Amino acid sequence: MIDKINQLRAEIEAATAADLKEVEALRIKYLSKKGEVSLLMQDFRNVPAEQKRELGQKLNELKTLAGERIAALRESLENVESVDVDLDLTRTPSPLPLGTRHPLSLVRDEIVDIFSRLGCTIAEGPEIEDDWHVFSSLNFAADHPARDMQDTFFVTRNPDVLLRTHTSSVQSRVMEKTQPPIRIICPGRVYRNEAISARAHCFFHQVEVLYVDEHVSFADLRQALLYFAREMFGPDTKIRLRPSYFPFTEPSAEMDISCNLCGGKGCSFCKHTGWVEILGCGMVDPNVLEACGIDSTKYSGYALGMGVERITNLKYQINDLRMFSENDKRFLEQFRSAR
Ligand code: DAH
């Protein structure tokens, strides 16, 4: 009997089937009432008592093997056959959900587009910076509060390794390496040590513009600002410049645009003033030009910088900065773009 068991085991292990009918034939051959395995089971009665234990175990294993082998053959054929039945080459493929572009990327690209029409090319710099490019070269006094731990993230104990707090650092990097004419736009991420709230975040995005050449005047700056405001917020947009202070520009100004919600009549969004602030700007301080190796008696320039989040908030009336980094698809899917 042991020989018969071994022979059947080898047969079953090698068994193949081309279709489901052949699988059924195998089942009948081995497992039906008169099948080979069943017959062996019946013969088991005649096995001498001392062999019953060993042979019984072998016989059970054979039965299990046959059952599993036949089930496996059936399953593999059923899968193939069901694919064949379903295969319809004319069927429309299931739609792949397309992602959307992040609102900050959309707005950043729009800003970059507008200034590239004025001749600017993109310049980028590192997010991990040194004191010289973020502060010293930009005319920040040694005791300027912006250098303070309250504002700046230092990466190591060495106060010369820090996360840039503004993209103005790219100005000095470019001016150090290039002589005028310089016309650049620098988009990028910046970091400040702020508690996260609806109105402040520890990282955000800025776009910096720098134009240095002979005879660049404040009138050039004003015209570029007006062009930008109208392209970004519509042709009826008005601008106003208020005197301000930045270490790296002199004179400095902040620009407001007429409120794009109420058209300047006054609403809760613009706190009933009719104006909303959108950027800082000014004429590059001669100290900055000189620090970067540019002759300030020959060249002058203007610079401006704005927060991408701020422009996006205005354009889409978003009033919580945290939405930009929460990855909530319900928010993000509202921004579709043809680009
Ligand atoms: N760097 C300034 C900030 O982070 C923004 C800024 C103001 C940039 C005036 C400029 C500028 O280039 O001229 O708040």
Predicted pLDDT of residue 82? 57
What does the alpha-carbon distance between residue 267 and residue 217 come to, in Å, rounded to a whole number? 35
Shortest-distance Cα residue to atom 8 of ligand 1: 305
Return the exposure string of 296-321: e unless at least 16 CB atoms fall within 10 Å of the residue's CB, then b: beebbbbbbbbbbbbbbbbeeeeeeb
Return the exposure string of 275-294: e unless at least 16 CB atoms fall within 10 Å of the residue's CB, then b: bbbbbbbbbbbbebbebbeb
Predicted pLDDT of residue 81? 55
How far, in Å, from the CA of 246 to the mean position of ligand 1? 7
152 C-beta closer than 6 A to ligand 1: no
Q: Where residue 96 falls among pLDDT bands split at 50, 70, 90? A: confident
Predicted pLDDT of residue 119? 97
Give the number of other Cβ atoms within 10 Å of residue 326's Cβ: 10
Q: Where residue 236 falls among pLDDT bands split at 50, 70, 90? A: very high
172 C-beta closer than 6 A to ligand 1: no
Q: Could you read off the pLDDT of 58-87 as tens digits, one per residue? A: 888 988 988 898 888 888 887 765 555 667
Predicted pLDDT of residue 77? 80
Number of the ligand 1 atom closest to the C-alpha atom of 249: 13
103 C-beta closer than 6 A to ligand 1: no
Residue 317 has pLDDT above 60, yes or no: yes
Q: For the whole model, what pTM was predicted?
A: 0.72
Segment 225-244 mean pLDDT: 96
What does the alpha-carbon distance between residue 46 and residue 6 come to, in Å, rounded to a whole number? 18
208 C-beta closer than 6 A to ligand 1: yes
249 C-beta closer than 6 A to ligand 1: yes
Residue of 102, 147, 59, 151 lying closest to 337 (CA atoms): 102
188 C-beta closer than 6 A to ligand 1: no
How far, in Å, from the CA of 181 to the mean position of ligand 1? 20
How far, in Å, from the CA of 72 to the mean position of ligand 1? 71
Predicted pLDDT of residue 54? 86
How far, in Å, from the CA of 281 to the mean position of ligand 1? 6
**Which of 137, 168, 207 has most ligand 1 atoms within 8 Å of its beta carbon, as the pocket-test mutant?**
168
303 C-beta closer than 6 A to ligand 1: yes
**Which of 164, 304, 310 has most ligand 1 atoms within 8 Å of its beta carbon, as the pocket-test mutant?**
304
Segment 270-295 mean pLDDT: 96
Strand pairing category for 162-163 and 300-307: unpaired
Burial of 84 (0-12, 13-18, 19+ CB in 10 A): exposed
Number of the ligand 1 atom closest to the C-alpha atom of 166: 4
Predicted pLDDT of residue 78? 78
Predicted pLDDT of residue 208? 98
How far, in Å, from the CA of 58 to the mean position of ligand 1? 85
Segment 235-243 mean pLDDT: 96
Q: Name the average pLDDT for the chain.
A: 91
**Picking from 49-58, 143-152, 164-173, 220-229, which range would have the lowest pLDDT averaged per residue?**
143-152
Return the higher-pLDDT residue of 281 and 46. 281
Q: Where residue 112 falls among pLDDT bands split at 50, 70, 90? A: very high
Shortest-distance Cα residue to atom 4 of ligand 1: 166
Percent of the chain exceeding pLDDT 70 equals 96
Q: Could you read off the pLDDT of 17-29 as tens digits, one per residue? A: 888 888 888 889 9
281 C-beta closer than 6 A to ligand 1: yes
How far, in Å, from the CA of 178 to the mean position of ligand 1? 21
Predicted pLDDT of residue 46? 85
Residue 44 has pLDDT above 90, yes or no: no
Shortest-distance Cα residue to atom 5 of ligand 1: 305
Predicted pLDDT of residue 216? 98
Number of the ligand 1 atom closest to the C-alpha atom of 282: 13
Segment 259-266 mean pLDDT: 86
How far, in Å, from the CA of 245 to the mean position of ligand 1? 10
Residue of 307, 252, 302 lying closest to 278 (CA atoms): 307
